[in-house]
Structure 1
Amino acid sequence: MNNRSDDTNNTDHSTNGSHTEKAPLALLAELTHRCPFQCPYCSNPLELETAKNELTTEEWMKVIKEAGKMGIHQIHFSGGEPSVRTDLEDLVKCSSDSGLYSNLITAGYPINEERLKKLAELGLEHVQVSFDDVEEKNADYIGGLKGGHQKKLQVAKWVRAVDLPLTINAVMHRQNIEHLEEMIEMAQKLGARRLEVAQVQYYGWALKNRAAFIPTPAQLDKATEIVESARKRLKGILVIDYVIPDYYAKRPKVCMGGWGLRFLNINPKGLVLPCHAAESIPSLTFDSVKEHSLEWIWKNSEAFKAFRGTDWMPEPCRSCDQKEIDWGGCRCQAFALTGDAKNTDPACELSPLHEKIFGMAAEEAKKEPPEFIYRKIGKEFNSPF
C-alpha cells in the first residue's frame, strides 16, 4: 500500500477500546487477479478469481463514487495487474471526479507510454512499479516472465516522462538481497521520489514459497545497515521505507493501520476486506458491494468488527501498553502460524511462539532454496518459461 499517512482524524477513539469509524483513509481496489507475471511471492490468495467474476466498470464506478462521498482520501488501483483492465482510464477519471487521490500499483506490463500519458491527463497522481532485481536474468526468473525486467525499466522511465511521481517497490528476499545497494542506486537513476525496500511478507503465494525466500538473520542485518546508511546519504533526495520479515521482528507491524481502522480492500469480485489476506481466516464472512453500500459495510460488517479496536484482545495483548500502537499486529499471520486469528501475533516477542517462529525461519534460510511454485490462475508451475 502506498502513501500511508499519519493522519488519524478519520477515527474517533473511545476509552473502552471500541471505535466509531467515520471513514477509512484509503481504499485498495484489486481490479483483477489477472497478471502476465507469475510472482511466487504474490499476496493474492491461492484461489485466484477469473475475469468472468470481476466487477463491471459500472460496479467499480459506483464504489468509487461512494468512496468519495464517504470521505475516503485515496484510491490505490492494484491487482493482479490493474492495467489489463481496459476500463482503467474510466476508473481513474471517476476517481478524479470524486475527489480521490489515485495511485497505480503496477508490475509494468502490459501498460504503454501513450496509456500512461492518457491516465495522467485523466487525473492519475502517482505510480508505483515493482522490481525483482537489478540483474535481468534473475529478475525475469523471479517474476516468471521473460523480458519483464526490461519492460519495468521502460515503464518507470515513461512515468517520469509524463511527470508523474514514481515509487519503486524493491521486493527483497534471499535470492536478491545481495543486490540491495544496486537496487537503491537504480531507484535514484530512474528518478524515483520514494523507494519501498519491502522484504517479502509471508501471505498467499509467499507463504507457500517461504523456504525459497526467507533470508538468514545475517543477511537481514546487512540489509538493515545498507538501508540506514542510504537513508542518511540520500536524505532529501529519496525517501526509503523499509519493511523486514515479521519472523525476525521483536514487535508486530501495525498491519493496515489496525484492523478496520484506516484501510479497506475490495477484491475483484466485490468482497470488502479489512486487508488483502483477510479471506485466509475461514471463520469470517465478508460482505459484497453488490449487496451493500461501502459505508454500510465499513460501519456494520461483522468481519470488520471482529478485530477492530482492542476489546477482542486476549492476554498478553490486552494488558500491553503498545496495544493502541500496533493494534495486536497481523490477524492473518496469527491464524496462519497458530491456527487461531485471536492469538498473539507470533511476530511479537511476547508471544509464546515467537522464538519458535524465529528459529524455524532461521533454519529454513540455511537450506538450499527449493524451486518456486509460481502464481497462476488454476495451476501451479515450477518453471517460469
Structure 2
Amino acid sequence: MKQRLREWIEQLFPPPISPLPPGVYHWQSPPDAPQPHRMHLRIEPNGEGILILDASTVLHLNQTATEFAYHHIKGTPLDEVVREISKRYRVPKSQVITDFKDFLERLETLLNTPDLDPEIYVDIERHQPYQEPLSAPLRLDCALTYRTEDESIRHVAPVEHVRRELIYEEWQQCLRKAWEAGIPHIIFTGGEPTLRPDLIDLIAFVESLGMVSGLLTTGLRLVEKEYLNRILASGLDHVMIVLDPLNEISWEAIRDVLAADLALTVHLTITPENKTQIQSLIERLARMKVTRMSLSISHPHLGETLQHARDLVARLGMHLVWDLPVPYSHLNPVSLELNATLEAPPQGAGIAWLYVEPDGDVLPFQGATRILGNLLTDPWDIIWERAKQR
C-alpha cells in the first residue's frame, strides 16, 4: 500500500530532474572521415548547454537537448539513450526516438552547411542568447597589439595605459587558461593583428586546444596569397575585414576571402565623408555575395544614416552582425569617451564576452575603463567573479 501511495504521489509531483554534471565535452570525427567535423559541448550548472559546431555555430540548448548532445558526443548506444531519457523525463520511448533522431538530423544539416557565421543562432530548441547565467564567457576578444599599418595614427587606440604587448609564450598561457575555464571562442583583434609575426602560430595554438578562432583585420595582408594560405592552414574559422572604401586592396581582400573557405563579415564605418555613398557601398558588397555586415558610426549625429544602412542590409537579405568589436584604426578614430556615447554596450557585453588588451588586462568590453584583472597574472576565478559583479 505504501509503495502504491509513493508511486501515486510521484506521478502527481514528480521529483526534479537532476542535471548532468557541468563540464566541457569534445568530439572530433575520425581522421579517415569523408568530412571532418568537431563539436564542443559546455554543460552549465543548471543543466543547460552551449554547443559549438565546427567553430561555426553557437547553440544554446535546454536541458533535454543538452542531454541529447551529450549522449551523441559520448557515443552512447541508441537503446541506452532511449531508456535513460524516457525514464528521466517520463515520456514514451517512441517520442524519445523521434526527438533524438530529429536532433541528430538538424545537427547533420548544420555540420554540412558551409561557412556558417559563429553569431547565427539556428532554430534548435534553446533559450534566447544571454538570458541565462553562464559559467564562463562564450568568447574572449584578444587585442594582440594596438599598432596599425600607419603608425602616425597610433593615438586612436587607448595606448596610454597599455604597458607592453604580451609575448607568444605569455599569450599561450592566457589562451590555455581561457580554454580550461570553458571559453570556446577566441577572436584576435587590435590595432592590426597581422602585424604580429606570431599571429598564425597563435591561431594554430587555439586550433590545437580545440577552440573557435576569428580574426578582425583591415585585410590588407590577406591579398598576399602565401599569407592567406598559411592563415587557412592554421585553422582560422572566420574573419571580419574592416573595409576602406577608397582602397582597392581592401576590396581585393574581400574577394579573396570570399573565394576561400572562411566565414566572412565586412565592417563598414559610416563617416561624414562617406555617408552619401553608403547605399552604393552596401549594394556593391551585396553584388559580391557578402552575406554578413557590421556597421558603426564615427559620430553620434550619423545615427539616422546608420539606421537607414541597417534597413538596407535587411532588405538585401544580409545578416547584421552587431556584437563584434571594431579594431582601432584610422577607419575608427573614436576616443574612449566618444565611443561610450554612441550606443550602450550591446547585450551580452561584459558577461557573454570579455575584452583582453595587449598587456593581458581584461575589460568587460572594448573601450571600458574598468579593469577586471590581468589574464596572465590573476586567477581566472577572480576575474570572472568581478565580471559578474556588474
TM-score by length of 1: 0.57
**Aligned ranges for residues 34-183 of structure 1 at < 5 Å?**
34-37=147-150, 44-45=157-158, 47=160, 49=162, 53-111=164-222, 112-133=224-245, 136=246, 149-183=247-281
Structure 2: how far apart are the matches of 1:267 and 1:252? Answer: 21
The amino acid across from 1:240 in the alignment is L
Structure 2: how far apart are the matches of 1:242 and 1:287? Answer: 26
The amino acid across from 1:291 in the alignment is T
Aligned to 1:263: 353
Q: 1:42 to 1:99 in 2, by over 3 A?
A: farther
Q: 1:58 to 1:9 in 2, by over 3 A?
A: farther
Q: 1:43 to 1:128 in 2, by over 3 A?
A: farther
Q: 1:30 to 1:8 in 2, by over 3 A?
A: farther
Aligned to 1:294: 380
1:295 Cα offset (Å): 4.2
Structure 2: how far apart are the matches of 1:11 and 1:195? Answer: 22
Structure 1: how far apart are the matches of 2:253 and 2:134? Answer: 38
Deviations 1:294-325 (A, max 9, x none): 344223x4xx255x2xxxxxxxxxxxxxxxxx
Structure 2: how far apart are the matches of 1:291 and 1:46? Answer: 20
State percent identity of aligned pairs.
Answer: 25
Q: 1:87 to 1:229 in 2, by over 3 A?
A: closer
Structure 2: how far apart are the matches of 1:242 and 1:286? Answer: 24
Aligned to 2:146: 33
Say if 1:30 and 1:78, in contact at 8 Å, map to a contact too. yes
Aligned to 1:240: 320
Deviations 1:65-87 (A, max 9, x none): 22222221211110000001111
Structure 2: how far apart are the matches of 1:264 and 1:161? Answer: 31
Deviations 1:256-289 (A, max 9, x none): 534532111110011111112123xxxx454212
1:130 Cα offset (Å): 0.7
Q: 1:196 to 1:293 in 2, by over 3 A?
A: same
TM-score by length of 2: 0.57
Say if 1:169 and 1:196, in contact at 8 Å, map to a contact too. yes
Structure 2: how far apart are the matches of 1:172 and 1:120? Answer: 30
The amino acid across from 1:269 in the alignment is D
Structure 2: how far apart are the matches of 1:12 and 1:174? Answer: 37
The amino acid across from 2:158 in the alignment is P
1:5 Cα offset (Å): 6.1
Instruction: Structure 1: state its 5+ residue gaps.
Output: 14-19, 137-148, 201-212, 309-385
The amino acid across from 2:361 in the alignment is L
The amino acid across from 2:358 in the alignment is P
1:171 Cα offset (Å): 0.6
- Classify the secondary structure of the residue corresponding to 2:214: strand
Number of equivalences: 254
Deviations 1:38-97 (A, max 9, x none): 6979973152747xx211111111211222222212111100000011111111111112
Structure 2: how far apart are the matches of 1:154 and 1:252? Answer: 30
Say if 2:270 and 2:296, in contact at 8 Å, map to a contact too. yes
Structure 2: how far apart are the matches of 1:223 and 1:287? Answer: 34
Say if 2:140 and 2:185, in contact at 8 Å, map to a contact too. yes
**Aligned ranges for residues 323-362 of structure 1 at < 5 Å?**
none
Structure 1: how far apart are the matches of 2:313 and 2:191? Answer: 31
Of 277, 297, 309, 1:199 maps to 297
Structure 1: how far apart are the matches of 2:229 and 2:190? Answer: 21
Instruction: Structure 2: state its 5+ residue gaps.
Output: 1-116, 324-333
Structure 2: how far apart are the matches of 1:156 and 1:93? Answer: 22
1:174 Cα offset (Å): 2.0
Of 335, 348, 362, 1:272 maps to 362
1:230 Cα offset (Å): 4.2
Structure 2: how far apart are the matches of 1:173 and 1:150? Answer: 18
Structure 1: how far apart are the matches of 2:166 and 2:304? Answer: 43
Q: 1:38 to 1:89 in 2, by over 3 A?
A: same
Q: 1:179 to 1:242 in 2, by over 3 A?
A: farther
Structure 1: how far apart are the matches of 2:261 and 2:374? Answer: 36
Structure (1 or 2) with the larger CA radius of gyration = 2
Q: 1:124 to 1:259 in 2, by over 3 A?
A: closer
Structure 1: how far apart are the matches of 2:152 and 2:270? Answer: 12
Say if 1:256 and 1:263, in contact at 8 Å, map to a contact too. no
Say if 2:213 and 2:236, in contact at 8 Å, map to a contact too. yes
Say if 1:109 and 1:152, in contact at 8 Å, map to a contact too. yes
- Classify the secondary structure of the residue corresponding to 2:304: helix
